[in-house]
Structure 1
Amino acid sequence: MELKIRVANPAGNVTIFVMSPAKREDYPAISRELLCMEELHGEQVGFVEKMQDGSFHMQMMGGEFCGNATRSFGYLLSMLSEEKAEDVWVDVSGSKKKLKVTVDMEKGTARTEMSLPMEMTEVSVKEEKYSMVVFEGICHIIVNSAPKAQEFVDELIEEAKRVCPCDAYGVMFLEESKMTPVVYVESTTSMVWESSCGSGSMGAAVYLSKDADTGEFVYELHQPGGMIEAYVKKENGKVFSCKMGGPVTISEEMKVDIK
């Protein structure tokens, strides 16, 4: 099968966009094959679906939500349009509402509105408690330390599955402004130590602002692939606006053959 793809690089979190139509039941298998193509350096896969009304929907490989893919999708739609709009409303998996992506072609950046956190809870491993920020489509566990062994990550995610069934889980190792993200997608059973994570950056920002009452809080989170800015607005202790952004590049369209 020949597929048309574009490769997006949002702060190192390389996302392969499949531009050709495919059946959703085939998405996991296609994704696994694309992620095995070392020359693409992909960390995740998103499928661009054309709807009956002519609009576009972006479906992540496991139906999860991904902030970096969302802002890259907005950048892609602006890039391909005649208007080159600065504000693009995108329809993506893991979000019940359309999200606004603000694109700056000159600077090569995109910032997306994010779904608000549903709750903050805790998971426990070996009598240690860790905060977990629950979003629609993905749950992020915050670990205040340098990255730990894969065995620790596996155990933490297994416990998170028990506490909060979800499409995907992230473990964000946080050392002040330095963050190392790991993401597990349930339907594809893929575990990736990512170069950056947009929704994980948002989870970290919500966690870092947890004791604040009212105001706007901006966090620069330096990750292996680059820096992401996460914005949180709060009023009377409640989060009412979340945004995250950073650099994006998108390749020309190319063709690949898969089995």
Structure 2
Amino acid sequence: MKQEIDFIKFNPTQNMTILVNTEHPVEDYKYIASKIMSYDNVYAEQVGFIGKPLKDKADANLYMAGGEFCGNACMALAALVASRKNLVHNNFTKIFLEVSGTEELVMCHVKRSFNKYYCEIKMPIPENIEQRSIKYDKDYLETTVIQYKEFVHIVIEVEQFTEIVRRSAEGLAKLLGSTLETNLIGILLYKSKSNELAPLIYIPHLDSLVWERGCGSGTASIGAYLYWKNKEDIAAPIKQPGGTIKVMVNSNQGNLISLKIEGSVGIVAKGKAFIDV
């Protein structure tokens, strides 16, 4: 027996994202996501579910399959809401979203430019940033741990994105996934000389391990990391395999008070997917 799933597929910096537009029980999210994001179905790096907002000010509700927070999925949903508002070329709109992984409303500024939507969104501010040596495979890795309420990012500065470095990052993500109680673990390999990021995202609840071509929340964490390291406001383009996402960090009297990212989103497909039930 097949179940029909209404979906929209987005391209935020090639971090291909599927948003499900039909209602389903939360306990089915993991199964639906694993099926629809697979190579032999619609295929994407992540899946979120659109719901009705509970707060009056919110325009839409987004719940990711693993309960994580996702900046690119927020931009994707903001683009969808803007398109449904019939936003025209060169016009702006402001959108508020309820999203998994944070209790605060996420504010998005959206501008349409022909068939693309340029989104600036306010990201969660880390609860803590600290340098930490992590033992892995008999060695100690020098890392910076960026702790959020619902997820953790690990920044590791590297000279090159070699296969050995990537395999070590994958092993570390799996190890941390088995020891930490968190919805998402990001291993962010960062080349400071060229401002390049290779983001690895592991979602323990889905056992999903993906080298993303563009990562919104990872970009925000790199901005927070650069602020923590240099003690100055940041406005930087972070280059990734799928393109560039800009991060902006503002502070007041030594405290990080604003963390935003800016990127583009294309709506590339919509229709019905069919999965076995």
1:95 equivalent to 2:108? Answer no
In structure 2, the partner of 1:104 is: 111
Q: Determine if contact 1:94/1:137 at 8 Å carries over to the other structure.
A: yes
1:228 equivalent to 2:245? Answer yes
Unpaired stretches in structure 2, ≥5 consecutive residues: none
Q: How far apart, CA to CA, are the structure 2 residues paired with 1:253 and 1:127?
A: 46
In structure 2, the partner of 1:78 is: 82
2:184 paired residue among 153, 157, 168: 168
Q: Could you report, residue by residue, the CA deviation over 1:109-156 in whole angstroms, capped at 9, with x for unpaired residues?
A: 111100111101325132222001112322111111123535412442
> How many percent identity over aligned positions?
25
* SS of 2:228 mapped into structure 1: coil
1:156 paired residue among 172, 186, 189: 172
* SS of 1:89 mapped into structure 2: strand
1:120 paired residue among 104, 124, 129: 129
In structure 2, the partner of 1:210 is: 228
Comparing 163-172 with 193-202, which one deviates more in the overlay?
A: 163-172
Seen in structure 2, the aligned counterparts of structure 1 residues 39 and 227 have a Cα distance that, compared at 3 Å, is farther
Seen in structure 2, the aligned counterparts of structure 1 residues 6 and 253 have a Cα distance that, compared at 3 Å, is same
Q: How far apart, CA to CA, are the structure 1 residues paired with 2:8 and 2:129?
A: 35
Seen in structure 2, the aligned counterparts of structure 1 residues 38 and 103 have a Cα distance that, compared at 3 Å, is farther
The structural deviation recorded for 1:219 is 1.4
In structure 2, the partner of 1:63 is: 67
The structural deviation recorded for 1:39 is 6.4
In structure 2, the partner of 1:256 is: 273
The structural deviation recorded for 1:31 is 0.7
Seen in structure 2, the aligned counterparts of structure 1 residues 124 and 98 have a Cα distance that, compared at 3 Å, is same
Kindly report which structure 2 residues correspond to 1:139-154, keeping only aligned pairs within 5 A, or say none. Answer: 139-145=152-158, 146-147=160-161, 148-149=163-164, 150-154=166-170
Q: How far apart, CA to CA, are the structure 2 residues paired with 1:52 and 1:210?
A: 35
TM-score (norm 1): 0.92
Q: How far apart, CA to CA, are the structure 1 residues paired with 2:240 and 2:54?
A: 39
In structure 1, the partner of 2:146 is: 133
Aligned AA for 2:140? Answer: E
Q: How far apart, CA to CA, are the structure 1 residues paired with 2:186 and 2:171?
A: 12
Q: Could you report, residue by residue, the CA deviation over 1:78-99 in whole angstroms, capped at 9, with x for unpaired residues?
A: 1112567611011110010101
* SS of 2:98 mapped into structure 1: strand
In structure 2, the partner of 1:219 is: 236
The structural deviation recorded for 1:235 is 2.1
Q: Determine if contact 1:101/1:111 at 8 Å carries over to the other structure.
A: yes
Runs of 4+ in 1 over 3 A off after TM superposition: 37-41, 51-55, 82-85, 148-151, 158-164, 211-214
In structure 1, the partner of 2:214 is: 196
Task: State the number of aligned residues.
Answer: 258
* SS of 2:110 mapped into structure 1: strand
Aligned AA for 2:80? Answer: L
* SS of 1:28 mapped into structure 2: helix
TM-score (norm 2): 0.86
Unpaired stretches in structure 1, ≥5 consecutive residues: none
Q: How far apart, CA to CA, are the structure 2 residues paired with 1:123 and 1:180?
A: 20
Q: How far apart, CA to CA, are the structure 1 residues paired with 2:155 and 2:50?
A: 31
Q: Determine if contact 2:174/2:202 at 8 Å carries over to the other structure.
A: no
Q: Determine if contact 2:177/2:204 at 8 Å carries over to the other structure.
A: no
Comparing 43-52 with 218-227, which one deviates more in the overlay?
A: 43-52
The structural deviation recorded for 1:211 is 3.4
Q: Determine if contact 1:87/1:101 at 8 Å carries over to the other structure.
A: yes
* SS of 1:246 mapped into structure 2: strand
Aligned AA for 1:240? Answer: I
